[in-house]
């Protein structure tokens, strides 16, 4: 949803979608820094990108912790989704990992 918000802002303000293959890769990030979105859209785009980065850091840390605990059967696949290394059919199956937290106390 966050990435969709950024793509929607590009279309709304510049009349076309992403001119690079990966808007959230290195080249796309440089493009986003150069574009002059009017406020409040610029703040929304920068906020969405910051949230994406934060979520990626959290996912990476959780995956590292899971691997340390022995859950090394998951790999990050395209789009950041976790996948099992193989299936009975020989292909990769998408797998979703859900983490729930509750307030301490």
Could you report the per-residue pLDDT of 51-98, keeping only the tens digit for each?
999 999 999 999 999 888 887 555 555 555 554 443 344 444 445 444
pTM above 0.75, yes or no: no
55 in a domain, yes or no? Answer: yes
79-91 tens-digit pLDDT: 555 544 433 444 4
Q: How much is the mean pLDDT over the chain?
A: 75
Phi and psi angles of residue 57, each rounded to the nearest 5 degrees, phi first: -65, -40
6 in a domain, yes or no? Answer: yes
103 in a domain, yes or no? Answer: no
Separation of alpha carbons 32 and 30, rounded Å: 5
Separation of alpha carbons 42 and 75, rounded Å: 34
19 in a domain, yes or no? Answer: yes
Provide the domain count of the chain: 1
17 in a domain, yes or no? Answer: yes
Q: Which domain holds residue 60?
A: 2-71
Q: Which two structure tokens, joined as six digits, stand for 22?
A: 């990966």
Residue whose token pair is 């976790």: 82
């Amino acid at each position: 949803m966050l990435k969709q918000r950024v793509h929607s802002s590009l279309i709304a303000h510049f009349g076309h979608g992403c001119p690079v293959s990966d808007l959230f890769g290195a080249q796309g990030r440089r493009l986003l820094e150069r574009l002059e979105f009017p406020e409040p859209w610029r703040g929304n785009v920068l906020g969405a990108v910051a949230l994406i980065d934060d979520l990626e850091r959290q996912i990476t840390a959780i995956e590292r912790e899971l691997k340390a605990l022995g859950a090394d059967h998951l790999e990050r696949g395209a789009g950041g989704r976790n996948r099992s290394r193989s299936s009975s059919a020989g292909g990769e199956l998408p797998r979703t990992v859900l983490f729930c937290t509750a307030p301490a106390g």
